[in-house]
Amino acid sequence: MCEEAVKDKKTTERDDKAVVEGAATALADRMLLPLLVAGALLASLGFVLAFTTAPLVVGAEADVPALIGGQMVTHKLLLSQKIFFFHVPVAVVSFIGLFVMALYGLRFLRQRDQIYDLKAMVAAEIALLFIVMTMLSGELWERFEWGVWWTWEPRLTTYLILMLLVIAYFILRAGIDDPERRAVFASAFGAIAFVDGLISLAVTRLIPAGAHPVVFRTDSGLPPAMLVPFILTLLGMLLVAFGLYRFRLRERRLHQQLDELKASYENQKGMH
Amino acid sequence: MTAPGERVDNSPGDLPTGSLGVLPNNLSNNPPAKPPAKPPAKPANNPPTKPSGFRQFCVLFNRDIKQELRTRQMLSSMGIYALLVLVVFGAAFAHTGPVATSGVAAVLPAGTPASPPTSPGISLISISGGLMWAMIVFTSLLGLARSFKAEKEADGWEGVLLVPLDRSLIFLAKACANLVFLLVVEAVTIPLFYVFFLSGLELAASFWLVAGPLLVGSAGIAGVGTLLATLTSGTRGTDVLLAILFVPVIFPLLYTVVAATTAALVGSPDMALDYARPMVLAAAYDLIMLPVCWLLYDFIVST
């Protein structure tokens, strides 16, 4: 649904790039702070619910069954599973960020409007932020539940590769001075990176790596008590990501305008 | 637009075309912008009819091969580099015990799956597939970086871009040339690898199946590598940047071909799962990534 919003904004923005920002963009920019706050609140609410209403997940069998609170408990209850409510929404958002990056890259290649390159770059920044959050939260889970800091498990591997690809994207940008060339090359690489990320995901899953057991359960049907906080957090994170994206985009554009003003001022001074 | 210093900008200010169509009027758009380009080692004929795509491809391809045969710069540096990698591997495994380093490993019964490490040393067969690919990846990185350095130094690239060619043909020719170089280097270094590390060990009967991943993997490396080498050829810190882009992008392919190579060398009881499936995935990587690179090449070269 965030995608839709992005797309709407995009179409409105094409007409008014030279002029002052159009009414729709201005409105969106005014709504940004409330949007960001709403996202943060939603995500927080999701966390609270995750800890209050969502049941604990039954983990491995306990060594010694114990009587807790009048109930015979034979399995460990995983409090650490609560990471799921942060980890998965953040991961989903990071992938959407990559998708947006690739999309704007292709759009730039078609229309050669620098604004799309800027948008792709900002989307990549947001994607990198969320990828890092995904990896950090995953790291906590891994250390706590699997007892290792790192293992070449399919999803971990994919995310490591995604992170490297996005970092490579920025290093590539930093290596090129000419803005036109930089935009074209970065857009092309962004498209490759996204396709490569998808392939990486498929490949690492389809080829079992060594003897490592697949610990993840793919709970396709979450019970409502867990689904609600999950959805809330996901929505909240999407809003936060979108808000951050717009803020950063506005900041970059203002920066560019400032540079242009400075340049024209210098020119005028030189003429007098 | 912003003229990048004194660099000769080849493309007409606007993007020439959005599609992969033939770009016949690239020349006519800005002939006075630059001195006549140095003849790019090919007859600058202007016949009334355009030569066919295949002929254009042949000319471009021959140009790369001929240049390499004259200088032998790329092949020799790749070969020597691969040898050096082997030496490093030799040092790395010098102390892993008798099984890994000497021919005593015949104690390993043939066809034993290598998963449980034998006690005195590690089983080199099970990691040799990975080692081989490590060597190939590093060697190809070197070759790919070189393949464009020569173009830039001799300004041959400018000449090629000035010719009204289908841009995607340039990609095809360059990638094919790089593939040929890579295969030539592999033909030398992989027997060397065998001599150094595997000659004392008993390979599975299916070892000849290694040719499959080698071909598919090399094709992917050459194709993706050619695109990335073009991307990085005009940037600061070309060589490092190429490695930074190349390794993550090639990772899925590497993952699959190492799996297939290892299965072929070790001899898996279930070849359909351990060999055929990675091979299908590697081929799928090629089939997806190579057209993507091919499509994007037009944009990159036109800038």
Domain ranges of chain A: 81-217
Please give the backbone phi and psi of residue A57, each rounded to the nearest 5 degrees, phi first: -85, 140
Among the listed ranges A5-14, A156-165, A204-213, B53-62, which one has the minimum average pLDDT value? Answer: A5-14
Nearest 5 degrees, angle CA A125-CA A205-CA A81?
70
Out of B1, B228, B236, the one facing A175 most closely (by C-beta) is: B236
ipTM (interface predicted TM)? 0.75
Best mutation target among B230, B245, B275 (most A Cβ atoms within 10 Å) is B245
Between chains, do A164 and B248 touch, taking CB under 8 Å as contact? yes
The shortest C-alpha distance from B285 to chain A (Å) reads 7
Render pLDDT for B246-272 as a digit per residue (tens, 0 to 9).
Answer: 999 999 999 999 989 988 888 777 777
Task: Name the residue among A112, A179, A192 with its Cβ closest to that of B296.
Answer: A192
Residue A64 in this model has a pLDDT that exceeds 60: yes
Output the six-digit token pair for B38: 């140095």
Structure confidence at residue B13 (pLDDT)? 39
Confidence band for B109, pLDDT divided at 50, 70 and 90: very low
Work out how many CB contacts closer than 8 A connect A with B: 108
Nearest to B206 by CA among B107, B302, B272, B297: B272
The answer to whether the CB atoms of A188 and B299 lie below 8 A apart is yes
| pLDDT at A227 (0 to 100) | 79
CA distances, A210 to each of A131, B109, B125, B212, B241 (Å): 25, 22, 15, 22, 31
Are the Cβ atoms of A192 and B248 closer than 8 angstroms? no
Maximum separation of any 2 CA atoms in chain B, in Å:
74
pLDDT bracket for residue B201 (50, 70, 90): confident
Q: Cα–Cα distance between A147 and B7 in angstroms, integer?
A: 55
Q: What is the distance in angstroms between the Cα of A271 and the nearest Cα belonging to chain B? A: 21
Q: CB-CB: which of B115, B281, B288 is closest to A195?
A: B288
- H/E element, A72: strand A71-78
Q: How confident is the model at residue A70 (pLDDT cuts 50, 70, 90)?
A: low
Mark out the alpha helices in A53-153 (DSSP H runs): 84-111, 114-141
Residue type, B255: Y
> Which residues in B have their CB inside 8 Å of a CB on A?
1-2, 4, 14-15, 18, 115, 224, 227-228, 231-232, 234-237, 241, 244-245, 247-249, 251-252, 255-256, 259, 277-278, 281, 284-285, 288-289, 292-293, 296, 299-300, 303
Mean pLDDT, chain A, whole residue set: 79
- pLDDT, average across residues A163-173: 93
DSSP B27-40: HHHSGGGSPPPPP-
Cβ-count burial of A21 within 10 angstroms (0-12 exposed, 13-18 middle, 19+ buried)?
A: middle
Provide, as residue numbers in chain A, all residues whose Cβ is less than 8 Å from the Cβ of B241: 171-172, 175
Cross-chain residue pair B249–A191, CB shorter than 8 Å: no
Q: Do A207 and B244 touch (CB under 8 A)?
A: no
Please give the average per-residue pLDDT across A229-250, as a whole number: 89
**Residue B244's closest chain A neighbor by CA?**
A168
- How does residue A31 score in pLDDT terms, banded at 50, 70 and 90? confident
Looking at the complex, report in whole angstroms how far the Cα of residue A205 sits from the nearest Cα belonging to chain B.
11
Give, in order, the Cα–Cα distances in Å from B244 to each of A189, B168, B241, B257. 12, 25, 5, 20
Q: Say if CB A35 and CB A26 are below 8 A apart.
A: no
Quote the DSSP letter at residue A62: E
Q: Which of B18, B231, B288 sits opposite A110 (nearest CB)?
A: B18
User: How close, in Å, is residue B5 to chain A by CA atoms?
Assistant: 9
The CB-based long-range contact list for B255-258 (8 Å cut-off, 24+ gap) reads: B255/A157, B255/A200, B255/A203, B255/A204, B255/A207, B256/A203, B256/A207, B256/B213, B256/B281, B256/B282, B256/B285, B257/B133, B257/B213, B257/B214, B257/B216, B257/B217, B257/B282, B258/B129, B258/B130, B258/B133, B258/B213
From the list A165, A171, A176, the residue facing B249 with the nearest CB is A165
Lowest mean pLDDT among A32-46, A203-217, B238-252: A203-217
Q: How close B233 gets to chain A, by Cα (Å)? A: 10
B292 contacts A191? CB cut-off 8 A: yes
Bridge partners (DSSP) of residue B122 are: none
Taking the CA atoms of B31, B33, B39 and B42 in sequence, report the sign of the dihedral they define. Answer: negative
Whether A135 has a pLDDT exceeding 60, the answer reads: yes
Per-residue pLDDT tens over the stretch A72-131: 666 666 677 778 888 888 988 999 999 999 999 999 999 888 899 999 999 999 999 999
Look at B2 and A184 and tell me if their CB atoms are within 8 Å.
no
- Output the CA–CA distances (angstroms, integers) from residue B5 to A125, A174, A178, B2, in the order listed: 29, 17, 9, 9
Q: Which range has highest mean pLDDT (A28-37, A84-93, A227-236, B179-188)? A: B179-188
CA distance B252 to A199: 7
Task: For residue A160, give the chain B residue with the closest CA.
Answer: B248
Select from A117, A153, A169, A180 the residue whose CB has the most chain B CBs within 10 Å, as the one to mutate to test that interface.
A180
Regarding pTM above 0.80, the answer is no
Q: Do B235 and A175 touch (CB under 8 A)?
A: yes
- Between the CA of residue B167 and those of A105, A152, A216, A261, what are the distances in Å? 20, 40, 46, 39
What percent of chain B is predicted at pLDDT more than 70? 75
Query: What pLDDT shows up at residue A221?
Result: 57
Phi and psi of B286, rounded to 5°? -60, -45
Domain ranges within chain B, ordered by starting residue: 53-105+120-302
Long-range contacts of B149-156 (CB under 8 A, 24+ apart): B149/B233, B149/B238, B150/B67, B150/B71, B150/B73, B150/B74, B151/B233, B152/B233, B152/B234, B154/B38, B155/B37, B155/B38, B156/B38, B156/B40, B156/B41, B156/B63, B156/B67
B11 to each of B152, B158, B164, B169, how far by Cα in Å?
Answer: 16, 10, 12, 17
Asked if A75 and A58 count as a contact pair (C-beta separation under 8 A), the reply is yes
8 Å CB contact of B245 and A189:
yes
Regarding predicted confidence, which is higher, A85 or B22?
A85
What is the per-residue pLDDT for A121? 93
Q: Which of A100-104, B18-22, B206-210 tops mean pLDDT?
A: A100-104
Pick the more confident residue, B278 or B154: B278
Q: Pick B51 or A134 by higher pLDDT.
A: A134
Please give the residue of chain B at the shortest CA–CA distance from A203. B252
Most confident of A197-211, B11-25, B154-168: B154-168
pLDDT greater at residue A30 or residue B218:
B218
Min Cα separation B82/chain A (Å): 25
Q: Which two tokens stand for residue A10?
A: 């995009």
B89 is written with which tokens? 């591997």
State yes or no: pLDDT of A181 exceeds 50.
yes
